[in-house]
A and B are shown apart, each in its own frame.
Chain A
Amino acid sequence: MQQPDEGKGAIGFLTTVASASHGVFGGYLLVDELGRPLEFHCTAPVRVSRAQEILYGPTLQSELHARRIGGSLVQAAGVKPRIVLVESQQMMPLQDETDLPVAVVDPDESLRERFHGLLPEIDLREPFERIREAIAEAQRHG
């Protein structure tokens, strides 16, 4: 794990992408207050067996996606962001793996009110699209 750096005004965006043929990819993008990338971390695809899927049942998302993948990504980052934003409630167990604040980007932007002054004036959903594109590119390159 790299030494955490105080990324001035940095925001983290973390999401996972499931691929039927490869497994689950995780992506973590750290951007500055203007939305420009500071760091990007992604995982190699993680495959779970059918038995693990059955046995973990509905808890698989939080265990694999949030704790394992999310936790690994957050730990790998050199920049310490103000907040880590995720796309769904199922990713919230990530907060068990880090002392950083974690929040779900909500469609009605109430998040901005809750974290008044903490979030930059950028589209908070757009960076997740970038992560998905970067993961797709990494997937294409094997």
Chain B
Amino acid sequence: MVQLPPPLSSAPPREALQVLSWGGLSLPEPVPVCLRPEPIDIRSMSLPMGLPRVTVRSYPFRAAAAPLPARRPSAEPQRDRETGAGETEPAATTMRPRVRIKPPGDVVKLSERIFYLLQPDLETILETSELVFPHDPYPFQYEGMAFLAPRHAAVLADEMGLGKSMQAISTIRLLLHGGEARRVLVVCPKGLVSNWKRELSEWAPELVVAVIEGEPARRRWQWKLEDVPVTLANYEVLVRDEALVEELKLSYDLVVLDEAQRIKNRGSRTSEAVRSLRRRRSWALTGTPVENSSADLVGLFEFVSPGLVHDGMPPRALGEAISDHVLRRTKDKVLEDLPPRIDRDATIELSAEQRETYRLAEEEGVFRLSEMGPGATIQHVFELVLRLKQICNFDPATHVSSKVDRLEAELEEVAASGRKALVFSQWVDTLGKLSKRLARFGPLEYHGGMPTTARDEAIKRFRERPEHSVLMLSYGAGAVGLNLQFSEYVFLFDRWWNPAIEDQAINRAHRIGGTGGVTVTRFLATGTIEERIDRVLAGKRDLSEMILSSAEGIALDSQRLVKGFTQEELFSLFNLQPPPRRAVAA
């Protein structure tokens, strides 16, 4: 009997087996085999049941528990303001993703990045706060705020009309209330100072604003004002007071430049002046960050984030370097949010010259009307109104015009972005003056004083030639029959008497169901007859009571014009009592 090692098979052992082969070895005859299993060696193994130790990292935020103040949005949508004609539902009521503040790329400390990530969404903060928005922002505006809030270097490059200033103001407010900023300087073109004042009072009514203006001694006093959270200056004043700002060693937590393309030329005094400002945060607002070349962008970033980019950088590298610092939205990108027509009121403060001329003209006119007593007619009042409105457009002696300053600032952006604009006025004379001032935008005129062929040619050139950014029209000739839907901006340089006529003018560019949005800007000189007329017209909701006029602006028929405007209303424009028993206009 042969003793063999046990087979590897798991077959049950048997006492004896007859095998003919074993491990490939042939046996001459069957051999009985006996398998004897060896005793099993049992080895035990112990596994520890304890789980790994837990290490905890903690990030307390109690010191900055309220980094963002909150406001409760009203249910009212934006209306007649920078972005919104009130044609859409309030943004808060629509289903959409909530907007969260994300940490910027240049924040590298983990605790700071986590701090931003753990903030609730902006809407939640705003909905649960005690502060309020005057109008409910659009979703893309929340995104703009979430972009600006954490950034020390930012360019908000939204297309004109999307509310760059409103987004900046709201974020400034967040920073001030959250204790992240105490002093903010806003610098804007001279023509936009009044607009910024209005926007600040609208969107941040609780903030005290110091406007730097007037004589040198007054400006020195204004610059030195402490405990004023927001200082507002125009570029010219800043350049003039550069040495003073340096002497006073003024320092700001945030400097905001509006229409920041003004500093694209690094050698300019404006650029030098803003770059010399001591500041922790630098924001630039511009609708056209690149007007001519990438050098424009380099110039802008010399203020926003010095050294980040430089001349000669390949476009791709330049783009990558600035990508985290720039936010640009165009109307087509936010069309879902926006109404097809955006109405903006551009309140204009008259220049000192205009203001004085206006004051004298009104005092003299009212005195003469008073002298006339019962002999004063609607025609007399109407003539005075027209004269005052003309002064609101241009100072007759010096041709100074605050409205043109503002219009120029707006058109710069329109032209730089390759868009087209329509400018409406009541007077052909005004269109002529505008043509001279706005020559660099290639203005074309369209009014009843032109032959039909010349008018057609103007439309053709405006439509086809990119160098013509502006078409200037009189209400009478331009309000009907023209299709200029490729124009995205409409400026009402002065106001017509009847909103229905203004709408007809606006509808040259705006068509319901059209593909693009139209931004309508109405100029209104504050503290003047324009404002008073606007109030009267705004109060009239019944079109049948409106002034009726569809005639050519220059050939105004005053009797027809004042139809619907009661005698009391006309005389009340100057706080005058109408003569007794005078018939009310039909």
Q: Give chain A's interface residues, CB within 8 Å of chain B.
A: 2, 26, 29, 31-32, 34-44, 46-48, 51-52, 55-56, 63-64, 68-69, 72-73, 76-79, 121-123, 126-127, 130-131, 133-134, 137-138, 141
A34 CA to B122 CA, complexed, in Å: 11
A to B CB contacts below 8 Å, 12 in the list: A26-B54, A36-B67, A38-B62, A41-B56, A43-B56, A44-B55, A44-B57, A79-B62, A122-B128, A126-B121, A137-B103, A141-B110
Looking at B18-26, B45-53, B439-447, the stretch in contact with chain A turns out to be B45-53
Asked whether, in the complex, the Cβ of B56 is within 8 Å of the Cβ of A36, the reply is: no
Asked whether, in the complex, the Cβ of A137 is within 8 Å of the Cβ of B54, the reply is: no
Flag B107-122 by CB within 8 Å of A: 1 or 0 each. 0001001110111110
Chain A residue numbers with a CB within 8 Å of B62 are: 38-39, 78-79
A122 CA to B120 CA, complexed, in Å: 10
Asked whether, in the complex, the Cβ of B110 is within 8 Å of the Cβ of A138, the reply is: yes
Asked whether, in the complex, the Cβ of A36 is within 8 Å of the Cβ of B120, the reply is: yes
Residue of B nearest to A123 (CB): B124
Residue of A nearest to B110 (CB): A141
Asked whether, in the complex, the Cβ of A43 is within 8 Å of the Cβ of B119, the reply is: no
- In the complex, besides A36-B67, A46-B54, A55-B49, 17 extra interface pairs with C-beta distance below 8 angstroms are A2-B58, A26-B54, A35-B124, A37-B119, A38-B62, A39-B60, A40-B60, A40-B118, A41-B57, A52-B49, A64-B51, A76-B58, A77-B58, A130-B119, A131-B118, A134-B117, A137-B117
A52 CA to B47 CA, complexed, in Å: 8
Distance to closest chain B CB from A30 (angstroms): 9
Asked whether, in the complex, the Cβ of A40 is within 8 Å of the Cβ of B55, the reply is: no
Interface hits, B93-134 → A, CB 8 Å: 98, 103, 110, 113-115, 117-121, 124-125, 128-129
Chain A residue numbers with a CB within 8 Å of B103 are: 137
Enumerate the 4 nearest inter-chain pairs by beta-carbon distance, A residue then B residue, closest first: A35-B120, A37-B118, A72-B54, A44-B55
Asked whether, in the complex, the Cβ of B59 is within 8 Å of the Cβ of A34, the reply is: no
Asked whether, in the complex, the Cβ of B58 is within 8 Å of the Cβ of A39, the reply is: yes
Asked whether, in the complex, the Cβ of B51 is within 8 Å of the Cβ of A34, the reply is: no
A100 CA to B173 CA, complexed, in Å: 38
Residue of A nearest to B109 (CB): A141
Chain B residue numbers with a CB within 8 Å of A56 are: 51
A79 CA to B62 CA, complexed, in Å: 9
Distance to closest chain B CB from A31 (angstroms): 8
Asked whether, in the complex, the Cβ of A43 is within 8 Å of the Cβ of B57, the reply is: yes
A141 CA to B60 CA, complexed, in Å: 19
Flag B56-79 by CB within 8 Å of A: 1 or 0 each. 111111100111101000000000
Interface of B (DSSP majority class): loop
Distance to closest chain A CB from B177 (angstroms): 13
Residue of B98, B124, B125 with highest tally of chain A CB at under 10 A: B124
A138 CA to B117 CA, complexed, in Å: 11
Asked whether, in the complex, the Cβ of B56 is within 8 Å of the Cβ of A29, the reply is: no
A137 CA to B105 CA, complexed, in Å: 12
Given A46-B51, A48-B52, A51-B47, also A36-B119 (CB < 8 A):
yes
A41 CA to B110 CA, complexed, in Å: 13
A122 CA to B58 CA, complexed, in Å: 24
Distance to closest chain B CB from A29 (angstroms): 6
Chain A residue numbers with a CB within 8 Å of B118 are: 29, 37, 40, 130-131, 134
Distance to closest chain B CB from A140 (angstroms): 9
Chain B residue numbers with a CB within 8 Å of A72 are: 54, 56
Chain B residue numbers with a CB within 8 Å of A42 are: 56-57, 59
Q: Which residue of A26, A77, A130, A138 contacts B120 across the interface (Cβ within 8 Å)?
A: A130
Chain B residue numbers with a CB within 8 Å of A34 are: 70, 120, 124-125, 128-129
Asked whether, in the complex, the Cβ of A63 is within 8 Å of the Cβ of B51, the reply is: yes
Asked whether, in the complex, the Cβ of A78 is within 8 Å of the Cβ of B56, the reply is: no
Chain A residue numbers with a CB within 8 Å of B128 are: 34-35, 121-122
Distance to closest chain B CB from A44 (angstroms): 4
Chain A residue numbers with a CB within 8 Å of B114 are: 40, 134, 137-138
Asked whether, in the complex, the Cβ of A137 is within 8 Å of the Cβ of B119, the reply is: no
Chain A residue numbers with a CB within 8 Å of B68 are: 36
A23 CA to B124 CA, complexed, in Å: 33
Residue of A nearest to B129 (CB): A34
Distance to closest chain A CB from B253 (angstroms): 21
Given A36-B125, A41-B57, also A48-B51 (CB < 8 A):
yes
Residue of B67, B110, B114, B124 with highest tally of chain A CB at under 10 A: B114
Distance to closest chain A CB from B107 (angstroms): 11
Distance to closest chain B CB from A88 (angstroms): 19
Distance to closest chain B CB from A91 (angstroms): 15
Interface hits, B1-55 → A, CB 8 Å: 47, 49, 51-52, 54-55
Chain A residue numbers with a CB within 8 Å of B67 are: 36
Chain B residue numbers with a CB within 8 Å of A51 are: 47
Given A35-B128, A137-B110, also A43-B54 (CB < 8 A):
yes
Chain B residue numbers with a CB within 8 Å of A130 are: 117-120
Given A43-B54, A55-B49, A137-B110, also A78-B60 (CB < 8 A):
yes
Chain A residue numbers with a CB within 8 Å of B58 are: 2, 39-41, 76-78
Q: Which residue of A2, A31, A68 contacts B54 across the interface (Cβ within 8 Å)?
A: A68
Residue of A nearest to B102 (CB): A133
Asked whether, in the complex, the Cβ of A133 is within 8 Å of the Cβ of B61, the reply is: no
A76 CA to B57 CA, complexed, in Å: 9
Given A55-B47, A122-B120, also A137-B113 (CB < 8 A):
yes
A2 CA to B110 CA, complexed, in Å: 22
A29 CA to B60 CA, complexed, in Å: 10
Chain B residue numbers with a CB within 8 Å of A26 are: 54, 56
Residue of A nearest to B120 (CB): A35
A69 CA to B55 CA, complexed, in Å: 9
Chain B residue numbers with a CB within 8 Å of A46 are: 51-52, 54
Chain B residue numbers with a CB within 8 Å of A68 are: 51, 54
Distance to closest chain B CB from A77 (angstroms): 8
Distance to closest chain B CB from A103 (angstroms): 20
Chain A residue numbers with a CB within 8 Å of B49 are: 52, 55
A121 CA to B117 CA, complexed, in Å: 21
A48 CA to B51 CA, complexed, in Å: 7
Chain B residue numbers with a CB within 8 Å of A69 are: 54
Residue of A nearest to B68 (CB): A36
A40 CA to B59 CA, complexed, in Å: 5
